[in-house]
Amino acid sequence: MITFLTGLGVGFSLILAIGAQNAFVLKQGLKREYVFSVCLICALSDSILIYLGITGFSKIVVEFPLITIFAQYFGALFLFIYGLKSFYSAFRKSTRLDPSRIEKANIYRVLGTCLAFTWLNPHVYLDTVVLVGSISTNFTNELHIFAMGAILSSWIFFFSLGYGAKFLLPLFQNSISWKILDFLIGLIMWVIAINLLY
């Protein structure tokens, strides 16, 4: 039980920080747009990465740093473009008062963006693969119990964030709130992109 709770705690401590992926999930939750699919992709991706980390893939990442370097530069470019798009939404004249009336984006574009936020983020490899993988070595006899705790934290977090966003909907009946959110998301994307490069 202690091993499971440790895995759960480690998972939450790594995922709770406000990042590009979390901001994207929050926005999709507020728009009520493909929420289940987005949460599922994020949780599944984390599960795969955590499992790879505890089964030794962390050694490969450390031995072949090109994996994280590739993710670093492509991730920074992706975040810069997405941030630019968010700033454009924040400053354009049109308003988006009611999330239920927003025209839904193409599902393939949304899911592709979601996958990019996960797999082009070098911090994901360092956190879920290297860090969780390293910590898991302390639980050699209960490796899979530790992994179950860490994986469960991702599922709880993403689905809580995606579906819990509806409680903020009254605030987002105001177009100014949407513009502030878009601006903050753009800012988060650019800060992370700069951080990746430097």
CA–CA gap between residue 32 and residue 160 (Å, rounded)? 13
Domain that holds residue 104: 2-197
Taking each helix axis as running N to C, give the angle between helix 35-52 and helix 20-31, from 0 to 180 degrees, rounded to the nearest 10.
Answer: 160
Residue 160 token pair: 């809580």
Q: pLDDT tens digit string along 6-57?
A: 889 888 877 876 678 888 999 899 988 999 999 999 999 999 988 888 887 6
CA–CA gap between residue 117 and residue 10 (Å, rounded)? 21
Phi and psi at 104, nearest 5°, equal -65, 140
Q: What is the pLDDT of residue 48?
A: 92
Q: What is the pLDDT of residue 179?
A: 84
Q: What is the pLDDT of residue 97?
A: 46
Q: Say how many C-beta atoms besides its own lie within 10 A of residue 158's C-beta.
A: 25
CA 40 to chain centre: 11
Least confident of 37-46, 95-104, 154-163, 184-193: 95-104
Q: What is the pLDDT of residue 117?
A: 86
Distinct helix (H) and strand (E) counts, the chain: 10, 0
Q: How many domains does the chain have?
A: 1
Q: pLDDT tens digit string along 81-129?
A: 888 988 988 887 654 445 555 556 788 999 999 999 888 877 777 777 7
Task: Specify the higher pLDDT residue, 46 or 69.
Answer: 46
CA–CA gap between residue 35 and residue 39 (Å, rounded)? 6
Q: What is the DSSP string of 42-61?
A: HHHHHHHHHHHIIIIIHHHH
Confidence of residue 171 (pLDDT cuts 50, 70, 90): confident
CA–CA gap between residue 111 and residue 4 (Å, rounded)? 31
